[in-house]
Chains A and B, each alone.
Chain A
Amino acid sequence: MTNWIDIAALDDVPQRGARMIKTASGCVAVFRTANDAVFALDNACPHKAGPLAEGIVHGTSVTCPLHNWVISLETGEAQGADEGRVATYPARVENGRILLDSDFFRTRAAA
């Protein structure tokens, strides 16, 4: 069973943007697309750990700010010729609030 916890208001994250949240085992980037879908991914690019939360969000992808790898927000997979993947976590929006699955903290602690 998923146990959703309230993280913040949707409007705290700009459309086509991201914010970072800190956890005991590193940072997670929370993305919001142009159409208000949210995604949570490790805030570290599979290439050289660039902070994905600082990237440019387009469609359901983000471009890493360091060397322009394009990462799918849905799968965490690097797009195109690049290879690599970052962890993704369940995230959703309800009544204008962003919710993450509390299990995600446990998974992260184990990772």
Chain B
Amino acid sequence: MGKIKIKKLKFKLSIFAGRSISFILKIFLKSSAGALPGKVAMSIYPDILKEVDHRCKKTVLITGTNGKTTTNNLLVHIVKGKYPRILSNLRGANMPQGLVSAFINDLKEDYDWGIFEVDEGSFKRVVRDLKPDYVVITNFFRDQLDRYGEIEKAFQDIYESLEPLHTTLILNADDPLVSNFKKLGKKNIFYGVLENQFCDSNQNVVETNFCPGCNEHLDYSYFNYGQLGGYSCARCGFENPERKYEITDIQYQGENYRFVLNADQNLKDFEFKYGGVYNAYNCCASTSAALEMGMDLDTVTQRIESFEYKLGRMENFLINEKNVKVVLVKNPISLGEVLKILAMDDSKKSLLMILNDNPADGADVSWIWDAEIENVLQAKNLKNIHFAGRRPHDMALRFKYAGISTENFHIHENIDQALDKILYEDVETIYILPTYTALFHLRELLNARIEGKGRTISYFREFLKNLKLPKS
């Protein structure tokens, strides 16, 4: 057989193997399959990402610390208003294997757009095979997983791998670390969020101490969150670059938020179902990208208004006539911001915090001490605070030392037990904030309750998960 034939065969085999794995996982674990099928396929045919690149007419990559998954889902939802054939890793599997899994599960000969979120650590590897037309960079925050110089490394890696590429950068103007990418001399499009009623007066973030231009302290006129805000350096003049797209105002109206968008001097406002300044950034990033990709402003804002989150990173359930809000928390910044939203919600409510310390959550739970848990002190009508997961006491301690009365603390053995309590309380709204590995288990438990199948399914899955298969 010729070389090309073997290559083709290997490619077909890799797709077949990946799809088989995916099929098995779906049947037996009802799992979304994640990165495993891609991993198997890549082990057979390592060049498979090049094939993905070949089949997508144009591609967009989204990277940064926070907001990748939301921005990706938003952008795909918007762009679907015009282009039906989009390949994307919507479920947040953002390493090379994850991208390949998305391809295997949605196999087509060609796509109008490939839109992918990419893990900061995988960016270098991904752009080796996948050449993006646009790259969106959201922000760089210290993660609980890697707070030891790795933010600098991620930054450096992305910076260097962008250097040889012909691509347009869509950059968050309000993060000094991100706006610094303008030094690459690519085509830069900046977006950002102006001062608004949700701003903080102060942020204790170490990044604000170092001007990327000269290492001096940065002056801030306002903070949106983390080191995002209006900054300037008295010494070298480094400051927010001029934004082509900006959210100029945020209003809170009952259940919804109203954002005013200034898109290249055209004003347009739209409603969004999910709160928080970080969502203003997600909206701004995705609208900027969509507009740059050639969509018109009316379609973009119409699409964004119809966006529904279906992923648990931010998901609303209706159970026992209560509004159950599930929001993934994965680092101090996101946790503080979600609690700020809770504090602004006047409804009668309870809160469940689920803290795990598995590798994907961060084995070190000390990050919760860097989060503004004190935001809870502003909350009205907060009835009970429940704790579950592998490290519930650590989280309870953090709440205690924030100055919150322990009277209404409830620490549970497991998530199911916590749900038995919280779902039957006399409240209108329930906030559940799980860390990464708790999220999937939680969703299953909630869905099982909605489907009315009790706990049989989740017990069965639990059983399967713990089943020790003989090693071959």
Chains A and B form a bound pair? no
Taking beta carbons and an 8 Å cutoff, which residues of A are in contact with B?
A: none
Taking beta carbons and an 8 Å cutoff, which residues of B are in contact with A?
A: none
